[in-house]
Chains A and B, each alone.
Chain A
Amino acid sequence: MKNCELLDRYRDGELNDSQKEEFRRHLAVCRECRTANALLDNLVSVMRDETITMSDMADKIARRAFQRISSWDGLLAQWFRPGLAFATACLSIALCAFIWFAPERPPDDSMEYETLLNQADASDPASEILTAGESDFVLMLMWGGNTQ
């Protein structure tokens, strides 16, 4: 077994007493293993002994957690807001695109037809002739064709 594996097993407390004793004798003569072991021992002891300052955040965290779900704002944020934001964004984009690209609104067809018809009625001389012709025709019927 390699010494590096033995170092791992030694540190993990997986060597039996005689193996442990043998490895300690090895440490006495092998600088590499001795340095590695010292480094790890020192690192670990410093980190274990260090005082970790902490504050009691239990009530604060619990309050925040429950505020998140109890407030409508929190519910909106969790469930609705992403959907609403997405829908609003889509609508805005669609609206902008419509305003930007849409052609000018065409005039109403029926209105146009009526306008043209009136203009034609007013200006077409044929309609006057037709009207005159009609009255002559009525007189002719009334007076037996002697309109003169």
Chain B
Amino acid sequence: MDSTDATLVDRTRNGDERAFAELVRRYQAAVWGTAHRLLGNSSEKEDAVQETFLRAFTALGKFDPKYPFGPWILRIAANYCIDQLRKRKSGKTRLWSELGDLEQERLLRDFTRDGGVESSVKSDLESYAEAARSLLDRLNPKYRAAFVLREVEEREYDEVAEILGTTGAAARVRVCRARSELQKKLSELPGIKTGKKRDANENEKL
């Protein structure tokens, strides 16, 4: 019989290890996905998943089962990943990448073309995904998290706000800034034109 998350939380609080394992099993894919998109293909990702659930276990007494467990656990995961990204930015950890800078720039050039990725993506999806994450690495960690949750994971702004512990309006601003920052960061790479000039035949006003 399927138990609800609230029941599993309750059983875990009463010392049922199997209930907690079931809770982890339900949400580990979501946590793994978010950690992968925020931290990349590194060993940090596995640590992030473990640490997220261990922190959740310690804080389970504070969790109110009236609210859904998903956003709560993702909030712990996002906080952990954002902290790791900040440490990375401050040089405490170094991002490991299989792709050289030139190779990443070559792949990122394709991102600026309509359908530029789809044509060649089938054969080289992993490299493109890594190049995409290398571009996201240049963002403020908070903007990156908002962008991943909203655009890649297709969550509503309310849920993004709940996971990031902020308001819907602030979450919206972070996503907008991430979008414009991504464009700016890409334009800073050598040999990439992001089309700062309008086409000559643009006369329309919106």
Q: Which residues of A contact B (CB under 8 A)?
A: 1, 3-4, 6-8, 11-12, 22-23, 25-26, 29-32, 34-36, 38-52, 54, 56-59, 61-66, 68
Q: In the complex, which residues of chain B have a beta carbon less than 8 angstroms from the beta carbon of A43?
A: 111, 132, 135-136, 151, 182
Interchain CB contact under 8 A, B198 and A42: no
With an 8 Å Cβ cutoff, the count of chain B residues facing the other chain is 62
A43-B182, A47-B132 in contact; A29/B17 too (CB < 8 A)?
A: no
A interface: dominant SS:
helix
Q: In the complex, which residues of chain A have a beta carbon less than 8 angstroms from the beta carbon of B28?
A: 54, 56-58, 61
Q: In the complex, which residues of chain B have a beta carbon less than 8 angstroms from the beta carbon of A38?
A: 111-116
A23 to B114, CA, bound (A): 16
A141 to B186, CA, bound (A): 128
Closest CB of chain B to A47's CB: distance in Å?
5
A32-B194, A32-B198, A46-B128 in contact; A39/B186 too (CB < 8 A)?
A: yes
A146 to B57, CA, bound (A): 110
A44 to B132, CA, bound (A): 9
Closest CB of chain B to A64's CB: distance in Å?
7
A26 to B20, CA, bound (A): 52
A42 contacts which of B49, B54, B110, B183 (Cβ < 8 Å)? B110
Q: In the complex, which residues of chain B have a beta carbon less than 8 angstroms from the beta carbon of A39?
A: 111-112, 182-183, 186, 194
Q: Which residues of B contact A (CB under 8 A)?
A: 15, 17-18, 20-22, 24-25, 28-29, 32-33, 36-37, 46, 49-50, 53-54, 57, 110-118, 121, 125-126, 128-129, 132-133, 135-136, 148, 150-152, 157, 175-176, 179-180, 182-183, 186, 193-199, 201-204, 206
7 residue pairs, one from A and one from B, having the closest CB atoms: A31-B195, A62-B21, A58-B25, A58-B24, A50-B129, A65-B57, A29-B202
Interchain CB contact under 8 A, B33 and A52: yes
In the complex, residue of chain B having the shortest beta-carbon distance to the beta carbon of A25 = B204
A29-B199, A32-B195, A43-B135 in contact; A3/B204 too (CB < 8 A)?
A: no
Interchain CB contact under 8 A, B29 and A54: yes
In the complex, residue of chain B having the shortest beta-carbon distance to the beta carbon of A50 = B129
Q: In the complex, which residues of chain B have a beta carbon less than 8 angstroms from the beta carbon of A11?
A: 151, 179
A11 to B49, CA, bound (A): 30
